[in-house]
Structure 1
Amino acid sequence: MYNRFLKNDKGFTGLEAAIVLIAFVVVAAVFSYVMLGAGFYTTQKSQEVVHTGVTQASSSLAPSGDVIVLGGLQEDADPDTPAIDGITFYITNTAGGTPVDLDKTIITYADADEFQTQAYDADNAWDYTQVVFEVGSAANLVEKGEKYKIELNLHQTGDVVLEGGAVPATPMTLTTKPVVNEKVKIEVKPPEGAVLILERRMPPSIVAGNYYPVY
């Protein structure tokens, strides 16, 4: 009788099974929470990567109107050689594009023998002016429906009068300015989004003080 009582472990078996079951449930719950958390984190990061990729791949700027150059002379390199003193072009916001802060935009100029990169500065080698804009809007943001004029100063000695007036006194500091039939490349690099590239060939004839649309 005593031996039978010692070997009767039915009550303990049920208790142990309940403990094991509870342990499995707790472990499964913790594991599920960890897996769900990792899944949510991965999904969020994937969305951020996709959003960033779309933003970086799509340009918020587009050219609007002609690119106009101002005729001048080489000055330092060869004072008698016709050359281009300045370049004016217009930009607008693309459909659905995000606003572009011109104060944080970088412009790169390149031709056959020159390469210059300039961030915006009120006294630097390029300037911008609002042409079409909403009253009260930020002057430095190119927003939907707005149009801005960008002026590059290629002059070698200071102020130069472009299409709309005087531009900053500090020029692009080019060794030589572009001459007749020379191809130039301008890259407008906003703080976010794709680069706007303008490639134009200088006119076949240049007279100081004249303006020319280039293509």
Structure 2
Amino acid sequence: MWNRLSKDEKGFTGLEAAIVLIAFVVVAAVFSYVMLGAGFYTTQKSQEVVHTGVAQASSSIAPSGDVIVRADDDGGNADQITFYITNTAGGTSVDLDKTILTYTDEDDFVTREYMVDSTTTPVTKGPTSIPADGAWGNTYGWVYDGVIVTNDDNLLEKGEKYKVVIDVTQLLATSTAKTLPEVNEQVKIEVKPPEGAVLTLTKSLPAALSADQFYPVY
């Protein structure tokens, strides 16, 4: 008789079964929500990592045309480097005020950020106009006329070209060696935007430099 009473489950009502079932459903729902939430969070972070990686790996600055050097008054050395930069196809705008320029040759290494002197009045924009002098060594400026370039900031945007003129003598003022690059010497210029890949220009000076003459370098 005791065995029959201990195994008798007639007292297990439908209400109790419903409570147990609801408990299982609630636990499963909470667990599923936690797992789905973790999955969505991981997916979102993965997308952010991919977008950030693409933005950092792709460059928004590209060279436009040759790099030109000017020989100094005595010849044999280069005292000015000129090149043009533009925005890459599909690239984002680049704030040149936040862009860093690095110059390297055989015995000099200089890094400068562009800091416009607040006491200097910028020149009116035009085909040959330039903003106020900055710490890049000399200046950079718009190539197009002010009618075409309507923005008043130093933002390199789609369809624009900027002319960068580096006064090597001024740029090397804080360098230890302070020696101008000479014939056959290799120079490297890095334009480092706040976001995106670095634009690197590595050029070798020609075998001869006549005073005050201009030369394309490769």
Do they fold alike, i.e. is TM over 0.5? yes
2: distance between equivalents of 1:145 and 1:44? 33
2: distance between equivalents of 1:178 and 1:5? 104
Report Cα offsets for 1:157-194 as digits up to 9, x if no partner: xxxxxxxxxxxxxx332411100111111111111111
Q: Which residue of 2 aligns with 1:86?
A: 80
Q: Which residue of 2 aligns with 1:121?
A: 115
Q: Which residue of 1 aligns with 2:157?
A: 143
Q: Which residue of 2 aligns with 1:25?
A: 25
**Candidates 205, 212, 217, aligned match of 1:202:** 205
- Amino acid of the structure 1 residue aligned with 2:190: E
Cα distance change of structure 1 residues 7 and 70 upon mapping to structure 2, 3 Å threshold:
closer
2: distance between equivalents of 1:87 and 1:98? 26
Q: Which residue of 2 aligns with 1:165?
A: none
Cα distance change of structure 1 residues 178 and 52 upon mapping to structure 2, 3 Å threshold:
same
For 1:98, what is the secondary structure of its paired residue?
Answer: coil
Q: Does 1:184 align with 2:200?
A: no
1: distance between equivalents of 2:11 and 2:139? 88
Report Cα offsets for 1:81-140 as digits up to 9, x if no partner: 731111110011111111111111111111111111111112312421011374322531
1: distance between equivalents of 2:34 and 2:67? 58
2: distance between equivalents of 1:21 and 1:82? 91
Q: Which residue of 1 aligns with 2:144?
A: 132
2: distance between equivalents of 1:139 and 1:84? 31
**The structure with more strand, counted as a fraction of residues:** 1
Gaps of 5+ in 2: 117-133
Gaps of 5+ in 1: 74-79, 157-170
Cα distance change of structure 1 residues 28 and 7 upon mapping to structure 2, 3 Å threshold:
closer
**Candidates 92, 97, 101, aligned match of 2:91:** 97
2: distance between equivalents of 1:30 and 1:137? 54
For 1:150, what is the secondary structure of its paired residue?
Answer: strand
Say if 1:179 and 1:202, in contact at 8 Å, map to a contact too.
Answer: yes
Say if 1:120 and 1:126, in contact at 8 Å, map to a contact too.
Answer: no
TM-score (norm 1): 0.81
- Root mean square deviation of aligned Cα: 2.3
Report the identity percentage: 66
TM-score (norm 2): 0.80
- Amino acid of the structure 2 residue aligned with 1:45: K
For 1:10, what is the secondary structure of its paired residue?
Answer: coil
For 1:209, what is the secondary structure of its paired residue?
Answer: coil
Query: Shift in Å at residue 65 of structure 1?
Result: 1.2
2: distance between equivalents of 1:6 and 1:178? 101
Query: Shift in Å at residue 14 of structure 1?
Result: 2.4
Say if 2:75 and 2:212, in contact at 8 Å, map to a contact too.
Answer: no
The count of residues paired between Structure 1 and Structure 2 equals 192
Q: Which residue of 2 aligns with 1:65?
A: 65
1: distance between equivalents of 2:211 and 2:99? 30
For 1:82, what is the secondary structure of its paired residue?
Answer: coil
